[in-house]
Amino acid sequence: MKLTRPPKPAYLDGYKEWGRKYALKKQQGLKPKWHKKIKQWERLKKDLAELTADHCSFCDSYPLAAKNKQTIEHFRPRSSYPKLAYVWHNLFLCCETCQTAKGDDFKKNLLKPDAEEYEFNRYFIVNFKTGDIEVNTRGSKKDQERAKITIRIYGLNSYGRPKARADHYNWVKNQVRKKKLNKDKDIDILSYRFMFV
Ligand SMILES: [Zn+2]
């Protein structure tokens, strides 16, 4: 889902200095613990969760804590971009599956859900039958390449995820038919909201 990020919270004000120190320690071959600098760790998690209504920023699974552990993801990985370790725009709430799939991988063309130009439909389409996320072939060559990279790096069609999406889609359709769920009103308690908007 497209994310609209509020301005950087004050408790991250030290980000530049922390990033510099973090990078330096890495350079020295030490293993600095990046979150130690952030006194308001829980607050950061809460603020990132608010941004996504507690969904994973990349696969949109929900609720994170119960289904798939909540982690904080560095869009540009700390291993290659240690100076960006505390940059607000580099931090995302993420499920463990997406984080493990991505690891330290990063490509310049990877799609960022809080980027101004980002729209799900511009890059992707859903195959509702199989649950696969597919590249929108109406997009430009570059857009298609970006979609492809994003699907691969976050493993969006791996780990049985297409089936989970297809099953969820059918379940929601059923609940709506029985009037137990209102797709518009209840959207934020659904996983994979991009299938329902
Ligand atoms: Zn995820």
CA distances to 18, 21, 32, 163, 184 from 71, rounded to whole Å, are: 20, 23, 18, 23, 28
Report CA(171)–ligand 1 centroid distance (Å).
20
Tell which residue, 26, 128, 40, has the closest CA to residue 79. Answer: 26
- The pLDDT score that the predictor gives to residue 115 is 97
Chain segment 66-125, per-residue pLDDT in tens: 667 788 999 999 999 999 999 999 999 999 999 999 999 999 999 999 999 999 999 999
Which DSSP helix (H) or strand (E) runs through 176? helix 161-177
Q: Hey, how many other C-beta atoms are within 10 angstroms of the C-beta on 8?
A: 15
Residues having C-beta closer than 5 Å to ion ligand 1? 56, 58-59, 95, 98
Cβ atoms of 62 and 189 within 8 Å: the answer is: yes
Rounded alpha-carbon distances, angstroms, from residue 56 to 48, 74, 121, 154: 10, 13, 18, 11
pLDDT tens, position by position, 20-38: 999 999 999 998 888 777 7
Least confident residue range of 30-34, 90-94, 149-153, 171-175: 30-34
Q: What is the pLDDT of residue 64?
A: 80
Residue carrying structure tokens 């209102």: 182
Residues ≥6 apart with Cβ < 8 Å to 177: none
Ligand 1 centroid–CA 62 distance in Å is 9
